[in-house]
Amino acid sequence: MNVRNIITFLTLLFLPAIAFAFGSDTADNARAELVSVGQTLTTIFGFLVGFIVFIAGLYKISQAANENQKSAFLTPIMYVLAGTIMMNVFATLDVFTLTVFGVDNFCQIIKDGSAVDSCMSDAMSGLTGELKTRVEKLSGASTALAFLAHITIIVGMFQVIGLIYFLVGAYGLTQVANGSSKEAGYAKPVITMFASALIIDIPHTAQMAINTLESIGINF
């Protein structure tokens, strides 16, 4: 399965929805729905591919056991691992968030077609609070609210993109394991997964970056 084909397929899948969303009178709500649909479809697609990979891994383990090839167990184990990650992508991201940021759950900024306010107020307050204040001074409160709505949609879109690449990185583990990847080791898929996880949880990533800058004397 070609990674570029996966990305192209998902992009073409979302294009018709984009056309309808931006032509609607309630554009912000339509865009939020679009992002939510994108997350759902990507998750379902990832689960299906992950299930196939998981079953393939179990089959390879059975083959290796029957042929008594202990050295051949690494490939099927990577298949099972990748399949498990892809089928449980949100649980995997929660573990990543707990490990890196010390919080229980990653911040899914758009869920069930609407924005999750806690993501903006808690995790991203350091980033959006000052910007909102400046926009209010320049253009008024209504413009500031519209600004936050657009920021929410943009972050949601980045989360969908990050989710796609996280799944691509997980699938890349199997390509390296069976030798079909051009990469010699697991570094590229692991880095892809790590970087995309930071993008998916961009509220906490942004807050961590702000806290780091403030700790060295740079304030927004």
Chain segment 24-53, per-residue pLDDT in tens: 446 667 777 888 888 899 999 999 999 999
pLDDT band at 128 (very low <50, low <70, confident <90, very high): low
196: pLDDT confidence band, cut at 50, 70 and 90? very high
Mean pLDDT score, 86-100: 89
2 inside domain: no
Q: In this structure, what DSSP letter does residue 121 have? A: I
Residue-number span of the structural domain to which 129 is assigned: 20-215
- Sole residue written with tokens 């942004």: 206
Confidence band, pLDDT 50/70/90 cuts, at residue 123: very low
Least confident of 39-43, 69-73, 169-173, 180-184: 69-73
Question: Does the structure show a pLDDT above 90 at 120?
Answer: no
Residue 164, phi then psi, degrees to nearest 5: -60, -45
Q: Is residue 220 part of a domain?
A: no
Q: Rounded CA gap, 157 and 164, in Å?
A: 11
pLDDT at 90 > cutoff 70:
yes
Domain tally for the chain? 1
Tokens of 131: 């910007």
Query: Which of 151 and 52 is assigned the larger pLDDT?
Result: 52
Domain-located, residue 72: yes
Report the pLDDT value the prediction gives residue 84, as an integer from 0 to 100: 95
Is 13 inside a domain boundary? no
Whether residue 14 lies inside any domain: the answer is no
Give residue 195's identity as a one-letter amino acid code. Answer: A
Mean pLDDT check: name the lowest of 42-46, 96-100, 108-112, 148-152: 148-152
Is 60 exceeded by the pLDDT of residue 17?
no
Contacts of 41 (CB under 8 A, 6+ apart): 10, 13, 14
Q: Would you place residue 83 in the very low, low, confident or very high pLDDT band (cuts 50, 70, 90)?
A: very high
Task: Output the average pLDDT for the chain.
Answer: 76
Q: Give every CB contact of residue 60 below 8 A, 6+ residues apart in sequence.
A: 72, 75, 76, 79
- Is residue 10 assigned to a domain? no
At residue 24, the pLDDT reads: 45
Q: Is the residue at 165 inside a domain?
A: yes
> Does 188 map to a domain?
yes
Q: Mean pLDDT throughout 71-96?
A: 89
Q: How confident is the model at residue 155 (pLDDT cuts 50, 70, 90)?
A: confident
